Structure 1
């Protein structure tokens, strides 16, 4: 369903190609000039006219051609401009534009993050197609939105009834990659700035890309009759620009207060109030996000410890929902997941000290 694209490769020598012995480095670093037979003459003070004519008549060297040098060694013309590493693999291009933070390297540049995103959206589509699509009596399907009054230890859900089926997604780093904003933040060296983010919402609609797998999965969901709805903490004042960004990435259409729900002026960042409004009109059978708050505000209780918050994901009755109604996308760049000290993250019984290390 998802197609990939390999990066432009380096020019490789043909099988049985270059043997980079002692003097080969000099020959690679200074390739033969086109149209010139630049072989030094022997120790004779002057070459004969016949020799000069023979040199001038030589054809222009081309990559792949092999010549015999005066000492009998073979010289192959290549397109290489630098020696490959000892492994024989092509030399990597030098990085440009400065270094990106490791989290950005992972999310926006790595194949690993792309694979996780594809995996999540493939699982979302399979769930819609198999678990939901084949159900004859869809009125008895349960919504995956927690009903008001639920707790993480006692979650409750409603049946769909006659409401149309819908998929609800977060936007930023769930469906849309904010490439322009994150590059600017990395280049400037500053952290999150609300004013800069507001300017980004207003002007960055064409500097985004779809999260791998999102466009294909959402298009397939729409073809099968599911309504695709976005629920984001972007400002409602930028609704037109947000809809344009989704269109640019191939994720639209989206209409405000119908299939696009954004944060109003002065409204808190929690999404439950908007989720309930959507759930009153649609039966939400799947949700996707990159933060736990994209599924319920209950995960972000201010007094919850790091360990307790983590345990609510896998240690409660909500655990079976992951991959079966709730779908998480990777985001190590920002958000509620990025907190905790060493003692918060690593339990005491998992501490280890290298016995061979110098005393600290």
Structure 2
């Protein structure tokens, strides 16, 4: 099922300066190239940066298909895509109903292909299951922007934009090491509350955390795995607290399940540890402001918004002028910064409600 199309008649564009540029490895890019055609003297050469890509361009139809909004972060992913498209008068958006059914999502993409849209932005419910239909779109000349969950073939997407799960673990572990040093903690007890262990993203987060801790000679002493839900977070955090009478640092992978984790802490009257979260929910940021949480590590829900922007650039034949080679890169990995009391005000605007 497709939602109603978002469409506006062309009108003069106002300049939009949108925070949150793309991080490629460690480089930040915020695309802008001239929208004017090259002069005859410059034909065949790359255009130099000169004006904003946010200026009105050729109208393009961009299709979006994402997951069911059954989790705070996933709801934010969907809304970020829709909100970003509304900023551009030259985007005609075709938005499909969010779903966790791979078969339904395949049908949605088939519809987009039959409609002949100019680009498809897709967060697949299952990357492997959606690979073939994404390749069909690419073979039909429709560029696909793959968001968050990767396809199993590099030929299924023109561009892939990802959060950094391994980087989240590295950021959390590096910050834990910093806390140990700053507070001169001897023989620290470090705990981890993971998400679903069977998922590669959970494995990547745990691997990054362990790797960063090893750099300061530490390791995880107590670990449990929840299911990215409030209920499982509370249950597993309660089990952890019973198993460990004293803890110095806890990293919880997901701020949505963190609502339950925090409830378990409060119910047990335990607050002797530094509490680090993951993803960047508004709850977490409010707890940081109130001194009830030490930090959270971002996993940006703006990936879909970035996907819409990239699809627009690709469909309009534009590039990214902050790169020497301005063509939109094939793979973009966003940063996973640590949010603390020192910088929470800078990130609060983009938090998501659990």
Query: TM-score, length-normalised on structure 2?
Result: 0.30
Choose 1 or 2 for highest CA Rg: 1
Q: Which has the higher strand share?
A: 2
Q: TM-score, normalised by structure 1?
A: 0.30
